[in-house]
Amino acid sequence: MNKPSYPHPLIAREGWPFLAGILVISILVTIGWPGLSIIFWLLSLFVLQFFRDPARVAPDGELAVLSPADGRIVAVEEVRDPYADRDAIKISVFMNVFNVHSNRSPVKGTVSHVEYFPGKFFNAALDKASLENERNAMVLRTPEGHVVTAVQVAGLIAKRILCYAKPRDALYAGQRYGFIRFGSRVDVYLPPGSRPRVAIGDKVRATSTTLADLPATVSETQD
């Protein structure tokens, strides 16, 4: 097994302003209106759990595709990858508000391009969310030459997609590259011949769960 994928605080930096704000409000309410304070302290606990960001250990395997997010598998299907313009196998992970929402790179690779698409805010568990919701696509090329696309998709109440990766960045498998606030999904598009290791309904954990294995050889369509 590898070491934890990256050093980081246990509470994601993206949540620090929210947590500080709700804690201040909770303290003020406790001082002025003790009877109402339980509501705000419960809200503080919700914010704390939402922005938790635990370290994870990635399994070994150069061809392993790691889950980019915590959540539940809602799609494993053959589709067209519109971001890399190729046939692909799509595996989708749906995150509810109780899941960890930091996103990790599914593979080791170099970022070919990153593109943001404005859109709607349908329930992220629905199939149409993949192509109609607000989203951010990152296309990676692995050292072996495989093309893997990871797409952050906003959900019903998700209003902010954060992606820190830029073209030509070199990411390692499990590296933190983004965050989505308040319910969403991540779609991973893999080359044909990849072998899924999860099924619809499975619960997965970012970095520590292997979604699939890439093919041993690179097809001509990926060159």
Q: What is the pLDDT of residues 35-64, one digit of tens each?
A: 888 999 999 998 887 788 888 888 888 899
Task: Return the amino acid letter for 51.
Answer: F
CATH of 64-222, one of 3.40.1260.10, 3.30.540.10, 1.10.390.10, 2.70.70.10: 2.70.70.10
Residue 112 has a pLDDT of: 95
- For the chain, the domains span 1-55, 64-222
C-alpha angle 67-69-70 in degrees, rounded to nearest 5: 105
pTM of the model: 0.85
Structure tokens at 77: 């299907």
Q: Cα(204)–Cα(52) distance, rounded to whole angstroms?
A: 16
> Percentage of residues in the chain with pLDDT exceeding 70?
90
Position 121 pLDDT exceeds 90: no
Query: Residues 6 or more apart from 28 whose CB is under 8 A from it?
Result: none
Catalytic residue, chosen from 5, 26, 105, 184, is: 184
Active site residue 112: no
Residue 198 Cα distances to 93, 125, 210, angstroms: 11, 17, 8
Confidence of residue 4 (pLDDT cuts 50, 70, 90): very low
H or E element in which residue 22 lies: helix 16-32
Output the six-digit token pair for 74: 């809602």
Is 119 a residue whose pLDDT tops 80? no
